[in-house]
Amino acid sequence: MGTPKIGRSDILLGIVVLVAIIMVVALFLSQIQGFSINSNVPNAKTLQINAFGKDPRLGTLIVYVENIGSESSDIISEYSFTVNDINIPLTEDSIDKKILDQRQVATIHIPFKTSPNIPLVVKIIANGTT
């Protein structure tokens, strides 16, 4: 009952598993990104995008935002969304009202079909500002 020997194949298997784990984590992080939108306009509302992800089955982006106001309609009337510089109109059906809470966090489903390899830039622009 000696100590088991570690062979060359065991080391190669370990390296392959480690590389696979790193690739899965990198893929996951590339799908979910977080950033904030700040406005230089005095007294303008600030929205913060916590994260967004792609839902290829539904052809939508799922965006989590904060500070949208007391009503879900506030975000539709006061802000415009663009994805890769394409204006995306929102409707009341786009916003998951069940998610609204004390911090006014909402989940927005943005209809946007894309391939998995195309990077996405989501912008929220306060209406009436440049």
pLDDT score at 50: 57
Max Cα-Cα span within the chain: 78
Residue 55, H or E segment: strand 48-55
Q: Which tens digits make up the pLDDT trace of 9-61?
A: 888 888 888 888 887 776 655 554 443 334 344 444 555 555 566 666 666 66
Query: Which position has the higher pLDDT, 65 or 6?
Result: 6
pTM for this predicted structure: 0.42
- What is the tens place of the pLDDT at every residue in 27-40? 655 554 443 334 34
**By the 8 A CB rule, do 99 and 107 touch?**
yes
Report which DSSP code applies to 3: P
